Amino acid sequence: MSEYGTIGIFVLIALSFPIITMLVNRILRPHNPTEEKLTTYECGLDTQGQTWVQFRTSYFLYALAYLLFGVEAIFLYPWALKFLELGLVAHSMMAIFILVLVIGLIYDWKEGALEWDK
């Protein structure tokens, strides 16, 4: 029962810390709103014209593909460090992992996700 008590104490601390921090911030921060502070943008230039613009989702897809392949490449690093010490099972699992990566890359290439269109 003592293990559950320790976990319960950590959960209470984890839940109470952000609440206490926000309450202390609300009490201690200076509250003097001015017209300038209540504007939509506190810094920079005021927008001219329509502020709602369309965002090209292809930029998001480039970033997503880069992040995906970058994170997956990180998984190769520990495997490469212990390459000679690992057995056949580890090598076959990594071969399957690399095969999945290659299939994903081929799919992205075929769908045109890697094309930089204007």
Domains of the chain and CATH, by start? 2-111 (1.20.58)
CB 114 within 8 A of CB 108: yes
Nearest to 105 by CA among 68, 77, 75, 80: 68
H/E stretch holding 11 reads helix 2-28
pTM greater than the 0.85 cutoff: no
Successive 10-residue mean pLDDT values, the chain, 118 residues: 86 94 90 77 65 73 82 84 88 90 87 72
